[in-house]
Each structure stands twice: as C-alpha cells, then as structure tokens.
Amino acid sequence: MADKIKVIVAGALGKMGKEAVKAIFNEPGLELAGMVDVRGKGESMGDILALRELKMTVESDLDQLIAAARPDVMVDFTNPQAVFNNTRTALKQKVNCVIGTTGLNDMELAQLEKIALENQVGVAVIPNFALGAVLMMKLSQQVAQYFPDVEIIELHHDQKLDAPSGTAIKTAEMITANRQRIPARNAREFEKVTGARGGEVNGIRIHSVRLPGFVAHQEVIFGGIGQTLSIRHDSYDRVGFMPGVLLTINKITEIKGLVYGLENFL
C-alpha cells in the first residue's frame, strides 16, 4: 500500500481553507499533517468544523509547522500579501505547493518556478479549481478564433481582495493565444467616469463586480455582426472547488517546476 501524501493547509481559518481541511481530512489517500493561519491561537479545528475525529489545532507559524510535520505538500489559501513568502518558504524546504490564492505577478511566478526547480519540487498555481470554470476558459479560447470581439465580467463576494480575479486574467491570456486578429478600437470612445469601461488585459476589457451574495462567477461575452455568444460559469458553494484541489494535490508530487492552471492536470 502506497504511503499517504502528507498535506498542510495555510490559511486554514479562511472559507476556502476550512473546506480544504475537510476535503483533505476525508480523502483516503491523503494525510492532513497540520494547519496554519496567522490568526491561529491553537484553536481546535475539529470543534470549528464539527468534526469530532479531527484532533488537531491551528498553528500560527509556518516554519515551525513545516519543521514539525515534514509535509509533502502545502496548500495555500491565504491572501495576496502572504502567498509569495509562504510559497517561497515551503519550496526552499522541498515542500510541493498548491496555490489557490490569486494575486501573484509574473515576476513572482518566475521566482517561484526557479526556486521549485532548484529544489526539485513542484508548484501549481491554480486561478480556479472548479472543473466548470476550466471548461469555460477552454471553450472561450476556442470561440475567440471566430469571435475576436470579447469582454469579460467577473463577479465575486465583497471580501475578495484582488481585482480582476485570477480566473479573468487567465481567461484573457488564453483568448489572446488563439485570437487571430485584434478588433479595431472605437477611437471616439471616452469615459465620462474613469474606469467605466473596466480594466484591460491584452486589449480585452475586464469588469469586476464585488457584492455580498456572490461566491465566484464569470461571463465571457463575444460579439459578432447581428449576434452575441455568452459563456458563463457560476460557483454557488466552495465545496465545488474541492475535487480540483484534491486532484492537484495528488498530481503535484510528480511535477518539477511551475504549473499554471488546472487544465494542465486534466
């Protein structure tokens, strides 16, 4: 019988962190080896999640947890300010990393890839763990060959820290790779209110909505002569991300270097 993959979760007290803890704890091939959160004060995660069998507490120091638990994989659901340092710390200690926190820039990704290769471990940066979201991005990439005029609307809960979402940026990048012509701009267009036309990635407008009631949603709207085509994905519950999280944990131990996007594991 193969050894279980030992996993720690960073950002364990967040909404995604709690779901990840439950999913990992209940997955037969994985061993939950520890949890860390800067807000951690030794709380019983079993009490927080109403899981009587879970007899572990939430730690507050990542270095100490890695030294004590000696994990194979760290899953990070922290925040854009902490994720780079967390990942660098883990990779340097030869811990594979699964990153669900968005906000890393290209320079940071390049540095993490270099550290991962130097230490012969893998780092997976996954903008969206939902299978439906991955299919939305892949379908949008295919449609862009025929409908180059496109804009993206992404909608998230009002506590999300970064905008636009990592999923929207990734979608724009995938569309750009398959778009055969760049649509001409309306030279007479002007914004009466700054930002009314949204942000821009590779010439693709992205509009970010932040309101209570949403979880994670995105619509990609293509325009053509006399017609439009919309591709939309909605995540209503964070439990829908967990199959993608578990898949990535199981695959990352076979990888050396950086993988960006869940589609690379499907």
Residues known to be catalytic:
156, 160
Q: For the stretch 87-125, what's the b/e string if a residue is b when 16 or more beta carbons lie within 10 angstroms of its beta carbon?
A: bbbbbebebbbbbbbbbbeeebbebbbebbeebebbbbb
Q: Contact 151/206 with Cβ under 8 angstroms?
A: yes
- Report helix, strand or coil for 93: coil
Structure token digits, residue 48: 């927080």
Q: How far apart are CA 97 and CA 86, in angstroms?
A: 10
Q: What angle do CA 200, 210, 206 make, to 5 degrees?
A: 15
